[in-house]
Structure 1
Amino acid sequence: MRILLVEDDRRVAAALSSALTRRGYEVEHAATVDAALSAAPCDLVLLDLTLPDGDGTDLCRALRRRSAQLGIIAVTARGEERDRVLGLRLGADDYVVKPFSMVELQARIEAVLRRAAHAAPERDVIQAGPVRIDVAGRTVSVHDREVTLTRKEFDILLSLARQLGAAVPRDRILLDVWGTTWADRHTVEVHIGSLRGKLGDSRLVETVRGVGYRLRGE
């Protein structure tokens, strides 16, 4: 998962980037409003509200206009109630006051990403080559043959299908299915192996070395 860290204090940014990278996130740092607006697409923004070339609240508003699903957490020293209320009203999903612990920040990141995923519009049926997924009915068929999956296997397949054809990181799967990125990654491998066996063709779910897994779309 990709995080945009908007922070003008380079020492703080370096420490946060290092801690987030160790937790499996891909981090891009932007020290200014302009850099943040020109950054690559991401899953979540950690946003300092005090920036050298503009107000972070204006940036928050601009980012929210771009995407209703983007996760935004204001990370700032502004601890006054009026600042927290303003940040939330302008589109931030959460508000963390410095200083904070990485355990707290990790929990807030996971909560915001879960809410963003659940808010995204969901298709009723997803077709991935011979695999047909009825999202509402939670049923799966391959070549019109119904396949019985466990709840976790179905949720893993759905996580992959939501980003059909793209490499989905293991941490994204952990967050979607187990609600945390701190679970044992070996658990994902075991469930993927079982899922492949039930789908009947191991090529349908590809391993992307060093990243995660991909559900073939053709």
Structure 2
Amino acid sequence: MNIKILVVEDEATIRKFIKINLERENFKVTEAASGEEALDKIQEFDIDVAVLDVMLPKIDGFEVCRILRKKNPKIGIIILTARGQDIDKITGLECGADDYMVKPFNPIELILRIKAILRRMDEKFDEEEIITYGPFRIESYSKKVYKNDIEIEMTPTEYSIIKLFMQNPNKAFSRDEILNKVWGYDFIGDTKIVDVNIRRIRTKIEDNPAEPHYIETVWGIGYRFKNR
């Protein structure tokens, strides 16, 4: 396995604990004790997934997350938050994270979440598969999304959600259904992770995200993709 994981955590004991467990799964692990060091590491190494604590000195995890996402829209990002800090979860997701873990956590669950992100990044595809719907086009081979022939940068999670919608136009999905189909495991946490990703997608595909034309909220259920 040649998957490279960046672990960004200022507490050495937690960082080493994560590193040991990831290396047992044959991941290649690079460590960083600060936001500055993390930004240096991503210049040196091609990182597949970053495990990122939000409480870092100087450059906090939120800013590191924004920079990582801007530099590499395809990287997987899992943020680590303190118990009960719901605002950290939401802020991290809005900064571009794919998932979150609440400390203290079971390393097995972290590994499962990393593998779920990797599955989305390495999704099986038909080389010829092109999905079109209204002004949108998805090319499965390159995992690219276009609107009116202009490419829209998507994270692996956003790509999986928009593909699910475009494969099932006008179908209403509950948040739990989206979690099951996109995250691909029994998600332990708040379904707000779906809402935040939908908001991010809307900012990218809608002319006016405040009045969405394509991704509709189905009150009491969830969301559906509709081209009026």
- When residues 63 and 122 of structure 1 are mapped into structure 2, their CA distance, relative to the original with a 3 A threshold, is farther
How far apart, in 1, do the equivalents of 2:71 and 2:83 lie? 25
Partner of 2:54: 49
How far apart, in 1, do the equivalents of 2:53 and 2:111 lie? 17
Partner of 1:82: 87
Partner of 1:31: 33
Quote the RMSD (CA, aligned, Å).
2.6
How far apart, in 2, do the equivalents of 1:80 and 1:74 lie? 12
Structure 2 unaligned segments of length 5 or more: list them.
130-139, 142-183, 185-228
1:70 aligns with 2:75: yes
Residues 95-134 of structure 1 mapped to structure 2, 5 A cutoff: 95-118=100-123, 124=128
User: Given that residues 81 and 88 in structure 2 are in contact (C-alpha distance below 8 angstroms), is that contact kept between their aligned partners in structure 1?
Assistant: no
SS at structure 1 position matched to 2:70: helix
User: Given that residues 69 and 117 in structure 1 are in contact (C-alpha distance below 8 angstroms), is that contact kept between their aligned partners in structure 2?
Assistant: no
How far apart, in 2, do the equivalents of 1:34 and 1:103 lie? 28
Offset of 1:91 from its aligned partner?
0.2
Partner of 1:21: 23
- When residues 38 and 112 of structure 1 are mapped into structure 2, their CA distance, relative to the original with a 3 A threshold, is same
Partner of 2:207: none
How far apart, in 1, do the equivalents of 2:84 and 2:69 lie? 22
Offset of 1:25 from its aligned partner?
0.5
How far apart, in 1, do the equivalents of 2:116 and 2:123 lie? 11
- When residues 122 and 41 of structure 1 are mapped into structure 2, their CA distance, relative to the original with a 3 A threshold, is farther
What amino acid is the match of 2:117?
Answer: V
How far apart, in 2, do the equivalents of 1:46 and 1:79 lie? 19
How far apart, in 1, do the equivalents of 2:96 and 2:126 lie? 22
User: Given that residues 52 and 78 in structure 2 are in contact (C-alpha distance below 8 angstroms), is that contact kept between their aligned partners in structure 1?
Assistant: yes
1:11 to 4, 10, 13: 13
Structure 1 unaligned segments of length 5 or more: list them.
126-134, 137-178, 180-218
Offset of 1:116 from its aligned partner?
2.5
Offset of 1:71 from its aligned partner?
0.2
SS at structure 1 position matched to 2:74: coil
Larger Rg: 1
How far apart, in 1, do the equivalents of 2:57 and 2:126 lie? 39
**Taking structure 2 as the reference length, what is the TM-score of the superposition?**
0.51
SS at structure 1 position matched to 2:122: helix
SS at structure 2 position matched to 1:50: coil
User: Given that residues 3 and 27 in structure 1 are in contact (C-alpha distance below 8 angstroms), is that contact kept between their aligned partners in structure 2?
Assistant: yes
Offset of 1:124 from its aligned partner?
4.5
Offset of 1:117 from its aligned partner?
2.7
User: Given that residues 81 and 89 in structure 2 are in contact (C-alpha distance below 8 angstroms), is that contact kept between their aligned partners in structure 1?
Assistant: no
Deviations 1:154-208 (A, max 9, x none): xxxxxxxxxxxxxxxxxxxxxxxxx9xxxxxxxxxxxxxxxxxxxxxxxxxxxxx
SS at structure 2 position matched to 1:38: helix
How far apart, in 2, do the equivalents of 1:79 and 1:107 lie? 22
How far apart, in 2, do the equivalents of 1:104 and 1:47 lie? 15
- When residues 85 and 122 of structure 1 are mapped into structure 2, their CA distance, relative to the original with a 3 A threshold, is farther
**Taking structure 1 as the reference length, what is the TM-score of the superposition?**
0.54
